[in-house]
Amino acid sequence: MKDLLPFKQVSHHCVEVRQGGGIISLGGILLFGAGVLVTLAAVGIVPLENLEEMFYDGWPSMLLTGAICFAVGGCLAFGREWTTIDVSCGSLTRQWGLLIPMKTTNRSLRTYHSVVIRLDPGDSDTRDMFSVVLKSRSGSNDLMLYYSNKYGEARARAAFLAKFLRLPLKEGGTGEESVTLPDELEDSFQDRIGRGEVRHEKMA
């Protein structure tokens, strides 16, 4: 299979999904730096003219603002999430941390029965988003692994994941959803319609 970032097939039986970094990390670094600067100014280490006039009660407000920017910026700049899907042992491992894993949870792949492309409608100010979701049997442990405002990008990654896991791919948003079996994922939607192979299910 060809890798489709953030999905990366590291072995015949293992796929990794890494989230964090990039543009979000850059924004986090800027916010983190602002938090450090305001905090240092609040304790008098860095003198900044007219800075206190921006805060209604002087240094306490500055210190609180600096701490919030420091914490949020640090999470955005250094926060990472790793998801490892291993079909050889039927496990899905999720890890969170600041540059390195600090917390780990494990689930069985038997928890999931399909890969779904979910439409999250936007409004007048935001675009529609397409999410790639591992659908759980209980409905309470669904796992979103990717989202994009471009359907083609979401569909390519959903097909990658469905084929790797040998799970059906479900997509749709009008009350019915089409279902594509793993062996049919190489065929185009039009080809499958022509052969009468497109299945529909009522959406829950």
pLDDT for 69-107, tens place per residue?
A: 888 888 888 888 899 999 999 999 999 888 888 889 999
- Decide if 52 is inside a domain: yes
- 48 belongs to a structural domain: yes
The answer, yes or no, to whether residue 156 has pLDDT greater than 70, is yes
Other CB atoms within a 10 A radius of the CB of residue 186 amount to 9
Residue percentage of the chain with pLDDT more than 70: 80
Q: Does residue 144 belong to any structural domain of this protein? A: yes
Q: Is 187 in the same domain as 118?
A: yes
Confidence of residue 173 (pLDDT cuts 50, 70, 90): low
Is pLDDT at 199 greater than 70 in this prediction?
no
**Domain match, 67 and 145 both:** no
Instruction: State the Cα torsion 49-51-53-56 to the nearest 10°.
Output: -160
Give the model's confidence band at 56: pLDDT under 50 very low, under 70 low, under 90 confident, else very high: low
Domain residues for 164? 7-21+80-195
**Residue 131 belongs to some domain of the structure:** yes
Laid out side by side, the sheet with 79-86 consists of 7-11, 14-19, 79-86, 91-98, 100-108
**93 and 170, same structural domain?**
yes
Peptide bond before residue 47 is cis, with ω within 30 degrees of 0: no
In 4-88 the beta strands, taken as DSSP E runs, fall at 7-11, 14-19, 79-86
Give the end of a domain, one of 40, 62, 78: 78
140 and 62 housed in the same domain: no
Q: What proportion of the chain, given as a percentage, has pLDDT over 90?
A: 29
In this structure, are 50 and 60 located in the same domain? yes
What span, in angstroms and rounded, lies between the C-alpha atoms of 125 and 168? 33
What whole-number distance in Å separates Cα of residue 24 and Cα of residue 67?
19
Same domain, residue pair 61 and 152: no
| Total domains in the fold of the chain | 2
Q: Is pLDDT of 32 > 70?
A: yes
Same domain, 179 and 88: yes
Global model pTM greater than 0.75: no
CATH number at residue 145: 2.30.29
Domain membership flag for residue 204:
no
What pLDDT, on a 0 to 100 scale, did the predictor assign at position 51?
A: 58
Name which residue leads in pLDDT, 15 or 203.
15
C-alpha 114/C-alpha 79 separation (Å) is 29
Burial class, 112, CB count within 10 angstroms (exposed 0-12 / middle 13-18 / buried 19+) = buried
Same domain, 110 and 155: yes
Residue 202 in this model has a pLDDT that exceeds 60: no
- Tell which of 57, 78, 99 closes a domain: 78
Query: Across residues 9-20, what is the average pLDDT?
Result: 88
pLDDT of 204 > 50? The answer is no
For the segment 128-144, what is each residue's pLDDT rounded down to a tens digit? 889 999 999 887 788 99
pLDDT beyond 80 at 160: yes
